[in-house]
Structure 1
Amino acid sequence: MTEPQHIVRYQHYVSRFYLRRFANSEGVIEAYNLLDKRMEKAKGPKGICSEYFFYALETGSEDDVSQVVELAFKVLEDYISNNLDEIVTKLLISDKLTDDKKQVLSLLISMLHFRGPQMRNFTQRLYKSMLVNTFGRLVERKGMAEVQREIGELSGITLPEMKDEEKEKLSEQILSLEVNNKPHLELFEDIPIFANFFQAQNWKIYVSRSEAKFITSDQPVVLQDPENWPPAFGVPLLAKSCFFTLTPEILITTNYSLSGENGKTEIEVIESGNEEQVFQFNLKIASGSKKCIFSVRKGELNTVATSLEV
């Protein structure tokens, strides 16, 4: 007799194997709530950055899709986590990062960037905007009657003749349609592709040997438009600068050079007495947070929170 499949109900959008690196000696992670402006009760990785059936087509409703996504992420996470200890050990002694290990980190950055609530909200807004604009252009070009007919053909539903006020109501209903999680879930297939984009950038890895520690958040990857980018063009993902805390001692930045060589990697050690440099990076990480910032200890969180409240 086959055993029933284990159902994962609370699904993490920030991987637990990553969050564990920010746990203290008691196994819990300190958290500061930026929205409520207060320290939260420290919890283990299992209790943060997760939602009930987050990867379902409709968040919170159990379905097979969420379990397929969970299984796919488990395979990817196992591959990354199996390599991570060696990578961290090498970086802490400023050892050279080989291309295969850089690819592992690129996959981690890409995965954490795409799977969270911020990317979901952005994707849903984008698709809804496309729907609204498409409907508006169709009505403008073909008229409401023809659009009604086409909607009827596509849906198999015969729409009755409508008065002007009924047509207006139909327009409002179409414009208020909610987009489910499918567009966001489909993005996950492109995680390896975007990992190549991150890997192709120039990397600078900061290793803190000072007393200060790097923080992370519920959106661990922060992207920023580069300075002096030609204003006539939008900034593609490949050209955006990236800030990502790997551990409390290691922070990775990536950037794209318009004029020089790309794909280079260098390591900079932050020595004791340069705690301000760590603090400035922590402010950058906090700027990308949806709600909570996390640290191995409270000190860095209080310092960042105090600065943000000024």
Structure 2
Amino acid sequence: MASSSNFFLCLLLWINLFDLNRSSAELLFSFEHRSKAGFYPCKKDQSRIKSKDKTVPLFRTDEAIRGILTVKIHGGKSMQHNGLTVKLLGRIKLSVDRKDGVDDFIHSCYELQPRGAIIQGEKAFSLDFSKVDKIHETYHGKSVHLRYFLRATLARGYYPLIQEQDILIQAQMSLPPINQSIQLEVGIEECLHLAFQYEKSTYHLNDVVIGKIVFHLVRIKIKHMELVILRRETVGSSGNCTQRHCENEIVTKFEIMDGAPIKGENVPVRLYLAPYDLTPTYCNVLNRFSVKYFLNLVLVDEEERRYFKQQEITLWRKHIG
């Protein structure tokens, strides 16, 4: 009975010691030089779940990452530590890749203080990652997560104190040189024949899809017609078709006609892209994944049969944020 009491007493003392050590210091990242436009709501995944309480700093791919790391020793006391470091990490995680699911493609480390240094009260350290190439955008999809983050580590006797800070990286792009209009004629022999036209094949993320649908032959009782934006995320290198994994996601459905069309009818198309959570088109990022977008024209008849035509479009980022 006594041994049992001694065990629980030791366990209680160990927990108190753990809590005391855990709360004795704090690491804080700040980016005070950035305006409000330099912060962005935190997005957990491609469904874009936003947190009102958490924002992440936003940087361009060609911009230096600068900030401040503050070490606070509670109670104004002093602490001798075993080294203070900060790392900038670029990490890609593939949820469908069991063998090699996580890979750090950027790993830049700076020592802010050496082993044996003493911090008293509160001390701020400037951070400057200006010589790190960040050519890929932050991306959170169905099967792929590409993120950048800072990790500060204060080494101590019992266990290290670690603090991470996510960073959003975006690339400001230029208009692709080729932006041809889309004109296609599709149909079912002696049943349905239509032509659809879109003014262009390349759109920036706040653009408007403008076009028209012209019915040349209608012998099917069409109930309604809709335009679908489809995102296709492909995991795997372009040269390895046998191990590629695709995820299709409907971004939005837009009804452009309700009721049966007649021969010669002209249906206008105007779809604003800004309200939707879109990314640029990505091609073979890190030889690991690609993201493409498609416009699907879908016709539904009275028997709920669906007829569709798919057309790939290219998206690009005109403005940061």
TM-score past 0.5 threshold: no
Whose helix proportion is higher, 1 or 2? 1
Whose strand proportion is higher, 1 or 2? 2
Larger Rg: 2
Normalising to structure 2: TM-score of the pair?
0.23
Normalising to structure 1: TM-score of the pair?
0.23
Higher relative contact order (CA 8 A, sep 6+): 1
